[in-house]
Structure 1
Amino acid sequence: MIKTKNFQGQSAVVSPPVTNFRWVFGPTNGTPLSDQLILSPSGEIKGYSHPNERSWRIENYRLLLLNEGGEVMWRSIEAFKDPEGLLTIILEHPGNPDTRFMLKQHAIILPDNTTPPVIKQVKAPLEIQPAPQPSATPAGLSDAEFLFPSDLEVTPIKIGKVLLVGSCLTALYHEQLQARHPETKFDYIPYNFVSVLPEAPPSPASEYDFQYLQIPLRSVLSDRVIWGFRFNEEGFTKTILQDAYSIIDAMLSSAMIYNERHGLLTFVSNFIVPQMSTASSMYERGSNNDLTTIVQRLNDYLNEKVASYKNAYLLNVDAVASTIGKRYILDDLVYFYSHGAVTYQDWDDFGSIARNEPIPPLETVYPVKKDEFLDAIFRQMVTAYRTTKQVDQVKAVVFDLDNTLWRGQIAEHYRPEAQPWPRTDGWPLGIWEAIHYLRARGILVAICSKNDYDYVKNRWDDVIEPKLISLDDFSSVKINWTPKAQNISEICKEFNIKPKSVVFVDDNPVERAAVASALPDVRVIGGNPYLTRRILLWSAETQIARMTEESGKREEMIRGQIEREETRSTMDRSEFLASLHCEVSFIDITSTDQAEFGRALELTNKTNQFNTNGQRWSFEKIADFLKTGGKILAFKVKDKFTEYGLVGVLYLKGTEITQYVMSCRVLGMEVEEFVVAEAVKLLRSAHTGETDIIATIKETPDNTPCREVYLRAGFREIAPENGIRRFILDGDEVPMLPLHIKKA
């Protein structure tokens, strides 16, 4: 053990040896993750960036490395010196003591020291010195956090097991990610050219959270492209492209077998485009004689092909490399253009060959950001997984106005005599555009502002210049002097969503705090307008895996729903229901290939209130349900106000309704009872004679609206089983059928 006085990181500085040296850090029996790690006197870890290792301290005679949440990631269990007197510290993971990492003292002293400290005894106490003032230079966001913001994340997820399929680049991912994320198990299958994958993956397909596929660019282009002079030959590039398209088809077909057989969620990496044009002349840059153009076209083609598979998505690794800087990542500085991998080693480490002038280490010429790249790649995987699983999905964004949608206050800074008015270029225009992109994703936008409504309406066109947004673009507008939490609650009711699905954007910290206190599930942002647009557009929680017809029409449906509720208040219930002219159409979903399947799965996995058991389905499980005799009955609803689209799904098997899910947008129209009657009819059609129909409800904290649906439909409740309520419709009984609804 390293014997020291208790040390709390930020409040004190530890004298040599730990703060005066760089350290080699990594697994005890694997490739080091960094040879530049510094245990800064401030308690920060520098020279190496990863969420698992952000700070350090010494406590109770142990060196502790802490993650970004302040939790202990590594703790020392042993320390010793090698024959050269350099210190090695062995670390263990608290949750998995068999996982061992090490810190090995670098022979090079940090620049502000002239001689290495003398370590007389490893167990000697370390001295405590006053802490220096922190640097005034902000560290900024990490590349991973910049590209894939975590501001809207609420629910942590654990990635248990990942299958990696690909070339030597994926082999690097396997080695490095397993060391950096010991909580996740990574399996690796090498894949080059059109090889055949094993009949089964290393573990059962159902155990993987997802598969990550990287098709090697070299296999697609072949080594013909190395002969650069041939690009001047007529027809050469056309042949290269045609052959490459065919190879992509063949490699995808072979590599996607686990996706097609088991429905395994699959992310496919695109190709990293070379840094510089390879065209023979400036005139030909951007033409088919330029390898950069060819690779860009291959990415476009790969994107189209991946989209044709179910439960598969392309990940833009080229964009990640571009943001971090390809000069720090891509190996085409040294290796041939079509290798398409990353610079992660010194290419002269394969053997020592005498030279007149020794070659310096590669990083002394070309700095490498391997750590940053790997962090971003894994973060890209995790956020894509969050999006596909709809974790913490945002359904509505509510905006304040003053200093949020525009600079300044409309009543103060935009008076006619106050000209010139604040400028709208910069972040205001960025927010306006973001609003339209959110709407395109089916995310509802609303306004909640303490202002005078008539004044804002009359002055809107003066403030919004150019006129890129209008009040009509917002599905709900609350401009009044009512507390904002109350207005947001009303917006949630209008949209039929819960506060946890809402993001509130406001510049005022007092208003943000008030909303967060009254509605703790609402996510609040907006303090820094330079961050707002990126958070709203780049976060996984505002991304949509696949657009459905209903997603595209959500805004229209909500407007119709609000109009419907206004009409409801002017009539008695029977008159109102009859006036709707409601129609329901049914779709039997028998295959995951059907167009409606994606929406049915989306609706099932995001509905909490009218969901008879709260079950969430993976693509794999729902495919198996259909293969083993299960049926999915989906339905669409329309009335005189709007078409609501596909708003409900029933899961049927044998003579049982196993799950019933419906959007609350049509709740109260008696659609729920009408649909049960159709489900009973479908189940009985597969049997002869009088057939009893069973239905079940597992009560959850959120599903109060559906708990009486079967009783209202004419079922009677029988004895529960394992805490699950059971209902039966006797074979000689028919369900209640509302007369004001027609079957389309």
Structure 2
Amino acid sequence: MKFFTALRMVMNNQIAFIRARLQTGEWTFGLGAGKPLTTIMRFAADGCIQGYEHPNEARWDIMHDGLVIYNSKAIPMWKQVRTADDETIILQAVADPGVHFSLRPTIQHNVPLSPARFLFPTDLSMTPAGITRVLLVGSCLTALYYEQFSRLYPDVHFDYIPFNYAGSLPDCPPMGVETYNFQYIQIPLRSILTDRVIWAMRLGTPGFLDQVLEDGYGIMDTMLDSALGYNKVHGLLTFVANFSVPQMNIVLSLAERHGAGDLSQVVRELNAYLARSIRKYNNVVLCDVDALGNSLGKQYFLDDMIYFYSHGASFFQEEWDRAPHNRIEAVPALDTFYESHQSALLAAVYEQAVSTYRTVRQVDQVKAVIFDLDNTLWRGQIAEDYRPDRQPWPRTDGWPLGIWEAIHHLRARGILVAICSKNDMALVRERWESVVQPGFLSLDDFAAIRINWQPKPENIHEICSLFNIKPKNVVFVDDNPVERESVRAALPGIRVIGSNPYLVRRILLWSAETQILHLTDESSRREVMVKGQIAREQVRSSITRTEFLGSLGTEVMISRIANGEDRHLGRVLELTNKTNQFNTTGVRWTNEKVTQFLFSGGLIFTFSVKDKFADYGLVGVVYVQGNTIIQFLMSCRVMGMDIEYFVVDEIVKKIRSASKCKAVNAVMMKTKDNMPCQKLYKSAGFDVVKNEKMDSILFSIKENENCISPSHITLK
């Protein structure tokens, strides 16, 4: 048996290696001699063949004999018969064994990342953002966005409203407000500074720029409030762009750089003020266009080497200058001297908005990142390359230090980090402090550690269970393609990276999926809470359930969301839109929908939990309409403590005290993920009154009946 088990492991590793190799890069497919049918065939992880559209080559799989290619009807068309020394795979036609084609790696010509992909990685994106309509509001720069975005992104509808100086928006946008995914506002810098700054002699007048700045604050307040009309009335998600700071210090002398006489410094101060101002509004997010310019290089688009400083737009050549008009010398083409990267800027501006939208809507949100050790957290292998008798050791400067810092940034955002490595735990503990130098990282920084010789999919599955999250919310970082593929195959939905250490830090820190809209108290304490949860579960396993629950000293505090500006609303939306298992309907809410729900008389209650192990913070939300609980959701972090029954009982009491109708209803909609909560209302004492199609069930508890409520919990 041991022999066959070992043989299966070897074969599985070989299959995983072949899969990983095929998914790396593009392949040339065709006869061994002559022109190939394609040079860009790609083998996708989902089994589809991409880059070559032909029904005979639609899908692929790895069998014991090697690669098999299927047609669109799942009939085998090609099978691997051998592999040449140069990695060429020889394929035999299943229907005609005398026909052989070759499959060989296409010679890759490295192409640098585009600025948009560099700044806004899509490696962790699994689901389309779903953007269908965008409203653009602003000046001539926004008009350029409208013209070019409409051409570059034909699947998205763009509408444009000009906005300058003290203008106001129309009462209604071109289409219904509810049809827009978001609006993008660009307030013109010229309107804020006014044209008085063009007369440079004034820059030397004491107090002149101070007055310009003070006036600019007032103008900005007025224009911003006007531009946010649809946001204030309808709660429309809004992105506001800041100003591009001029490329050079605008001063009369070098001594004034970054001083009271520097117009560029005024623009920086205006950007800081804009960032502070939008925090006063709900559902408004800053898009840092100035940061895009700093990364792309403002020399490639900003027009302040031609136009006046406060214009702040993209340069171009007027048609008049392209033809002679009684000039002695013709005007050369503008790109003779000024190379334009306008297309790169436009792509970056749009991708910044898309990335921001994905973060706000929590699309494909990452909840945990699990790291391998060797050649992932450091260079080389800890068992071989860091022996006391082997010097010098691999250096830790460069990307290892960057990864260590990235781990702390992930933790600070509330993303859990863990280790999964095939290594000797005792050896890792012994050498950790010597290897991780400077000592920026310790084993205690990780919420879970699995360092052993078990298969990595098993260890990662354990970590997911420990964290109460699904693989689709996890990123696994490993340098080994075989390990990455084995994890991907065993845990569908998990995201794996790590082949190139120079890409990992950027992907982890800059991807939309690892950003958060608001840092809540719960986010900042998530690691501590999870460690407390782990300690709690260890105690649970040693005593009876009744003893365990009674020993916790659990306290619950129930609060009500007053309005759309409540400081806890960010946490409510975060929890609502990421909770899958204990969510009675699975319905997702936006800021706009919550605001409208509250305005129409709906009630939103939150509850926080604390026990002797940890303060778990705000862990649950209850949506109530009239006498009906339309949605109940709770973090998996406090599952198994009977919190849900206590809260349902308290909410029923609140509904009865505020309503003439003493019967209380509750809605349950079954989803593929919410099995843990599907018995909530029945177990709490409710009866089924209507079982609709689409797995929607209406429960009710009569006015003379009470809910079941646990006695070991105290209401605070």
Q: TM-score band (shorter)? A: 0.7 to 0.9
1:720 aligns with 2:691: yes
Q: Deviations over 1:610-646 (max 9, x none)?
A: 1111101111111111111110111000100001111
The secondary structure found in structure 1 opposite 2:419 is strand
Match of 1:209 among 177, 181, 195: 181
Rounded to whole Å, the distance in 1 between the matches of 2:508 and 2:643 is 35
Aligned to 1:116: none
Aligned to 1:250: 222
Match of 2:490 among 504, 508, 518: 518
Rounded to whole Å, the distance in 2 between the matches of 1:521 and 1:360 is 54
Rounded to whole Å, the distance in 1 between the matches of 2:265 and 2:106 is 47
Question: Aligned partner of 1:698: which letter?
Answer: M
Verify the 8 A CA contact 2:324 2:331 in the aligned structure 1. Answer: no
Matches within 5 A, 1:589-738: 589-688=561-660, 691-723=662-694, 724-738=696-710
Task: Tell me how far 1:135 sits from its aligned partner.
Answer: 8.6
Rounded to whole Å, the distance in 1 between the matches of 2:350 and 2:206 is 42
Aligned to 2:327: 355
Aligned to 2:211: 239
Task: Tell me how far 1:499 sits from its aligned partner.
Answer: 0.5
1:486 aligns with 2:451: no
Verify the 8 A CA contact 2:558 2:608 in the aligned structure 1. Answer: yes
Q: Deviations over 1:450-477 (max 9, x none)?
A: 1111111111110011000100111111
Rounded to whole Å, the distance in 1 between the matches of 2:227 and 2:323 is 35
Unaligned runs of 5+ in 1: 1-8, 13-40, 45-53, 56-68, 73-132
Aligned to 2:363: 391
Aligned to 2:133: 161
Verify the 8 A CA contact 2:251 2:261 in the aligned structure 1. Answer: yes
The secondary structure found in structure 2 opposite 1:647 is strand
Match of 1:467 among 439, 456, 462: 439
Match of 1:564 among 531, 536, 557: 536
Aligned to 1:123: none
Aligned to 1:507: 479
Rounded to whole Å, the distance in 1 between the matches of 2:340 and 2:304 is 13
Rounded to whole Å, the distance in 1 between the matches of 2:248 and 2:443 is 46
Aligned to 1:425: 397
Aligned to 1:141: 113
1:303 aligns with 2:278: no
Verify the 8 A CA contact 1:206 1:620 in the aligned structure 2. Answer: no
Q: Deviations over 1:424-479 (max 9, x none)?
A: 10000000000001111111111111111111111111001100010011111111
The secondary structure found in structure 2 opposite 1:412 is coil
Aligned to 1:91: none
Rounded to whole Å, the distance in 2 between the matches of 1:135 and 1:477 is 40
Verify the 8 A CA contact 2:321 2:331 in the aligned structure 1. Answer: no
Superposition TM-score, scaled by structure 2 size: 0.85
Verify the 8 A CA contact 1:267 1:314 in the aligned structure 2. Answer: yes
Aligned to 2:95: none
The secondary structure found in structure 2 opposite 1:550 is helix
Verify the 8 A CA contact 1:344 1:370 in the aligned structure 2. Answer: no
The number of residues matched between the two structures is: 626
Aligned to 2:170: 198
Task: Tell me how far 1:687 sits from its aligned partner.
Answer: 2.2
Aligned to 1:582: 554
Aligned to 1:276: 248
Verify the 8 A CA contact 2:38 2:52 in the aligned structure 1. Answer: no
Rate the CA distance shift 1:722–1:135 in 2: closer, same or farther, 3 A.
Answer: closer
Verify the 8 A CA contact 2:584 2:670 in the aligned structure 1. Answer: yes
Q: Deviations over 1:515-545 (max 9, x none)?
A: 1111121100001000000000000000111
Rounded to whole Å, the distance in 1 between the matches of 2:698 and 2:321 is 69
Rounded to whole Å, the distance in 2 between the matches of 1:646 and 1:580 is 18
Task: Tell me how far 1:11 sits from its aligned partner.
Answer: 9.0
The secondary structure found in structure 2 opposite 1:445 is strand
Rounded to whole Å, the distance in 2 between the matches of 1:247 and 1:539 is 35
Rounded to whole Å, the distance in 1 between the matches of 2:515 and 2:547 is 41
The secondary structure found in structure 2 opposite 1:169 is helix
Verify the 8 A CA contact 2:322 2:331 in the aligned structure 1. Answer: no
Aligned to 1:448: 420
The secondary structure found in structure 2 opposite 1:417 is coil
Aligned to 1:532: 504
Rounded to whole Å, the distance in 2 between the matches of 1:189 and 1:530 is 42
The secondary structure found in structure 2 opposite 1:177 is helix
Q: Percent identity between the aligned chains?
A: 54
Verify the 8 A CA contact 1:485 1:514 in the aligned structure 2. Answer: yes
The secondary structure found in structure 2 opposite 1:497 is coil
Rounded to whole Å, the distance in 2 between the matches of 1:639 and 1:662 is 16
The secondary structure found in structure 2 opposite 1:298 is helix
1:227 aligns with 2:199: yes
The secondary structure found in structure 2 opposite 1:446 is strand
Verify the 8 A CA contact 2:479 2:498 in the aligned structure 1. Answer: yes
